[in-house]
Amino acid sequence: MAVKQGSLVCVGPGMVLGAHMSERCRNHISQADVVFSSCHPVIEQWISTMNPDVRSLQGLYGKDKDRGQTYTEMQAALMQAVRDGCRVVGVFYGHPGVFAQVPHASIKQAREEGFEAWMEPGISADACLYADMGIDPGAYGYQSFETSQFMFYERVIDPTAYLILWQLGHAGDLSMTPRQTGPKELTVLMNMLLEHYAPNHKIAIYESPFLPTQQPKTAWFSLQELPQAEVSLISTLVIPPGNKLTPNHAIVKQLKSISGA
């Protein structure tokens, strides 16, 4: 199929205003025919200084509106501009491909329709978390889940690794609206985690700032205090390993016989 005239690139400005945006991301924004944005309002104001046609997608969210419907409408807005022959840029905060359905789905659709479409990486919330909390994900390994998906499906937890739960503010939300859930859903989550970790196991809620003048927030508390924790829609839950790594003697023995060590 011949590549058609419209194009789509999804970019991420990172988390902190004015601090994380790559040159490539900035160039795509300034050279676009139209820019669609789903970011913090302050970041959207900043992006508006880079291109005369920046359209916020945030207005598509509605109090009791299904988030899936909002994502469909966001994708439709991007795709209509691509079909109109525009160089379209979608700006999604952090990294556009991390816990973000619309950029992945839109790029897939654009390619299926014969348009050029790709993604540029950005600095995500977990990238900030590793830096601010001093966590090396390679030290013990880590598992990363969307909290509600983690609750709705049977997942296998490895308590010797870090466990990172995203979208804690929507924990256990069956309505799929933008509403924030509360202590009752967090109690269900706590009980799930108590099957793997001690009640006094220390866990943390991490929130990266959006402004360079703000400090990162890391609130530590015991697992048994999770239902009362102060949670917002930008909260990420960090659960450090609860168990020590168990050596795999049989495999090490096999490897020794290969290397002769």
Candidate residues 95, 107, 150, 186; the one interacting with ligand SAM per rule CB under 6 A: 95
From 87, 93, 162, 197, the catalytic residue? 93
Q: Does 166 bind ligand SAM (CB under 6 A)?
A: yes
Q: Quote helix, strand, coil % in the chain, to nearest 5.
A: 40, 20, 40
> Is 71 assigned a catalytic role?
yes
Nearer to ligand SAM, 6 or 12 (CB): 12
The CA R_g of the chain, rounded to the nearest whole Å, is 21
DSSP tag of 224: G
CA separation for the pair 56, 91 (Å, rounded): 9
Question: CB 24 → ligand SAM: shortest distance, Å?
Answer: 16
CA separation for the pair 8, 172 (Å, rounded): 33
Nearer to ligand SAM, 6 or 170 (CB): 170
Q: Does 203 bind ligand SAM (CB under 6 A)?
A: no
Which residues make Cβ contacts (< 8 Å) with residue 182, sequence separation at least 6?
A: none
Nearer to ligand SAM, 121 or 227 (CB): 121
From 26, 55, 67, 111, the catalytic residue? 67
Q: Does 99 bind ligand SAM (CB under 6 A)?
A: yes
40 touches 22 (CB < 8 A): no
Question: Per the structure block, which two tokens stand in for 154?
Answer: 């049977």
Phi/psi region, residue 143 (left: phi>0; alpha: psi -120 to 50; beta: rest), is beta
Q: Does 43 bind ligand SAM (CB under 6 A)?
A: no
DSSP structure string for 175-189: S-SS----HHHHHHH
Q: Does 231 bind ligand SAM (CB under 6 A)?
A: no
> Is 142 assigned a catalytic role?
no
From 71, 142, 162, 197, the catalytic residue? 71
Q: Considering only 132-140, 188-196, 203-211, 222-230, which stretch makes contact with ligand SAM by CB under 6 A?
A: 203-211
CA separation for the pair 249, 255 (Å, rounded): 10
Nearer to ligand SAM, 20 or 86 (CB): 20
Q: Does 236 bind ligand SAM (CB under 6 A)?
A: yes
144: enclosing H helix or E strand: strand 142-146
Q: Does 185 bind ligand SAM (CB under 6 A)?
A: no
Residues labelled catalytic: 67, 71, 93
Q: Which residues of the shown chain bind ligand SAM in the complex (CB under 6 A)? A: 15, 92-95, 98-100, 124-125, 166-167, 169, 206-208, 233-234, 236
